[in-house]
Structure formats: structure tokens, C-alpha cells
Amino acid sequence: MKERINKRLVDSLKPDGGKKLLVYDLNLTGFGLVVYPSGRRSFFVEYGPKRDRKRMTLGAYGPLTVEQARAMALDKLSSAAHGEDPLDQRRARQQAIRFGEFQDEYLEAVKKRKKQPRHDVQYLAIANKRWKRQTLASITPRDVQSLMLEVSGRGHTTANRWLASVRACFEEACRQGLIEYNPAMRIQQFREALPRDRVLSDEELTSVMDAIEALGDPFVRLAFLLLIHTGARKTEVLRARWEHMDLEAGLWRIPSPKADLPQVMPLDEHTVALLEGAERHGPWVVPGRKTGEHRVDLKRPWQAIREATGLMDVKIHDVRRTFGLRVTRQSGLLVASKLLRHSDIRVTERVYAPLGIDELREAMGRAQEQRGAVVERERGKAREMNGRTRER
């Protein structure tokens, strides 16, 4: 089968029963696609004389786009035209390059591409400790599964994050043609615990506010009050600069939030008044002990608050969740999502706006009352109609 291979064609192709379907490109001789019975699609290139034709797998569709695969095929055909054998070159590199070497190259690219590469550095260090001297091609799905089980001793969430980093690393090796398949691709994640849903009741929040007022450091008090009034993240409050605060307009510009997109948060009159009355020592809203630096954490004062209130199970981030739940109940999920600055409203719904059994019971009661009112109204109409009929 010969067609012009493009994204539309690749997406439209379906497995041909239990057989492999081969598609050759009309424009680039030797470039092709195979569709397996499982539905997996993979690019290849054929080169050499007709009597000694060789086929080389380029990689799977998905990790590779059609354009990337076509460029790789052109490169391999060019090498073959100059008397080189791309398969021999690949085998030689596969036998030579070890996981440790490739991991170093990969992390250099990740550090340039990602805002926070520390998680990849952390998780790949675990893999590197086990596989540093192994060649990429020698690492199997069984190896990945075995090491993942060991990592799961630190928790299922940690193991899943580890798998994501390792899978992306091997995927890049596939894209570069260093391995023919990703040994981490089909490894299943562990089921994780449900997101934390602890929020503060009105009584608990009041006791926390009282404990905050009792703190001696005015900047620490300011930090906690900003967390409560705005629902901001701890790092956002600690890294806030006075130049980011437009108190006249009631706006807080957050230049580098979690989503890596500058965002603007509205400030209510109470928060503006709080900031206007705050002391200023340098550029930071919450200055640190050293001149010119911001405070880096709130662990000790938060521990003091927990001991003063007896709320030992409450974490700082629970304050943000409490803010999100309160806004959701008062103004709806969409407004809460906007104020929390989530890129996806489903995150707000799942993590920050849980519906407790009391809310569900109340909703069920309201539905029952409405249903009862409708039934009673309809019965009244029926009785009235029957009465008129008897009068006639």
C-alpha cells in the first residue's frame, strides 16, 4: 500500500484483522509505517539494494511525529547512500552507550527545558544507581518493574513519579533511535491514596487566628494572614515583593506561580489595609533574618500555632484548601478555581472543594422538599378538577 504519509492518514489507519499493515510513503522512497494488530503504529525506513534490502525501525508514532520520523528516515537514507549501514551504526551505539551516560545528556536537556528539573534529577538518580553501567538496550520491562517495587517502599505516589521520570527518559532514547522500544511504557502505576481533604471548621479557624495574633514576629503574622485571606501558596507569600503589590488598585502580581505564567490576584479591602499597615524592611513583604533576603519557611511558627490550638493534624496547605472550600460554597466552583489560579477546574473540584456527607444530605433534603411540593400541587389540581366534574 502506497500513500502520502501524514498525520491524518496515520490517525485514520486501523489494524487489518490479525495481520500487520504496511504503508509506504509516496514522496520519500523507503520511508514507511507499520500498523500492528494491537493498534500500535511504528515508523521504519528501508534501504540498500533490492536483493539485500534492510529495514530499520525508527520509533513508535506518538513519541515520534510524522515530521520527525520523516527527517530521521531521510538522515538514514543519506547515510546509506554514502556507503554506511545505519543498522550497524545503531547496534554499535547501543552496545556502547550506557544508562549513566545517556541520563547525564538527558538531564542537561531537561534542566534547560523545565522550570523545576529537581524531581527528574532526584528520581533518575535512583535509576542511575542501579543501571549506571548497563547499556540502554539491555534494560528490560522486568528490570523497571523490579526497581519500581523497591521505590514503592517510599510510597506509591513516589513510585509513580519515579516511573514518569524514567519513562520520559527512555522515551527520549527511543526518539533518538538508541533503543527500539521503551521498557517503562507498559508498566502500570500504583493506585494512590485519595487527595488530602482536611479543612478547618469555623471554630478551628478562629482559634488559629487567635494563635497567629499571639506570635511575636510581625512579619510571620503577616505571612499567615495573607495565606488565610488570599488562599495563596506558601512559596508565593514568602517570595512576594512590595513592587508586586499595587495597593491602590488592589492587585497582587505573582510573576512566577506554579503554572509558570504571570498572574494577577485581586486583594479585598481588608487585605489591602493589612498590607498598608505593615512594616517595610527591604524589597520583600516577608523579609528574612538576613538583609535583602526573604523568609524561606514557616515551620517553627506553624508548629507553635498547632501546639497552641491542639490542631496537630493540620498542615499549612490545609489553609489554602479551607479558603477554596469557603469560596466554592459562597460563589461557586468556577470563581474558586479562578481565585486559586488552577489551570483545570477539575483540580479545584477534586482537591479543594470536597462535598461532605452533610452537604449531600442537605441537597437530598432540598430535592425531597421540592419533589413533595410538586406532588402536592399536582394532587391539588386533580382534586379541584374532580370537584368541578361532580358539580356538573
Q: List CB contacts of 286: < 8 A, sequence separation 6 or more.
A: 219, 220, 222, 223, 237, 238, 240, 294, 295
Helices H, strands E: what count in the chain?
A: 16, 8
> What SS3 state is found at 181?
coil
Residue 358: Cβ-neighbour burial (10 angstroms; 0-12, 13-18, 19+): exposed
In this prediction the pTM is 0.55
Report the Cα 382 to chain-centroid distance in Å: 57
Report which residue type is found at 103. Q
What Cα–Cα distance (Å) separates residue 102 from each residue in 91, 106, 125, 136, 332?
16, 6, 12, 8, 49
Q: What is the CATH architecture assignment of 202-352?
A: Orthogonal Bundle (1.10)
Distance CA 238, CA 45 (A): 55
pLDDT tens, position by position, 69-114:
999 999 999 988 888 888 877 777 666 789 999 999 999 999 888 8
Distance CA 280, CA 303 (A): 26
Q: List CB contacts of 137: < 8 A, sequence separation 6 or more.
A: 94, 95, 178, 179, 180
Would you give per-residue pLDDT tens digits along the chain (392 residues)?
A: 888 999 999 999 888 777 889 999 999 999 999 998 888 899 999 998 888 889 988 888 887 899 999 999 999 999 888 888 888 777 776 667 899 999 999 999 998 888 778 899 999 999 999 999 999 989 999 999 999 999 999 999 999 999 999 999 999 988 887 887 899 999 999 987 666 678 888 899 999 999 999 999 999 999 999 999 999 999 999 999 999 999 999 999 988 655 556 788 899 999 999 999 999 989 999 999 888 899 999 999 999 999 999 999 999 999 998 898 888 888 888 888 888 888 778 777 776 655 554 555 666 677 777 777 777 787 777 777 777 766 66
Is domain 2-95 given the CATH code 3.30.70.270 in the classification? no
Q: At 298, list the grid cell.
A: 514557616
pLDDT tens, position by position, 301-313:
999 999 999 999 9
* Annotated domain spans of the chain: 2-95, 99-175, 202-352
- Domain spanning 99-175, CATH class: mainly alpha
Q: List CB contacts of 266: < 8 A, sequence separation 6 or more.
A: 250, 251, 252, 339
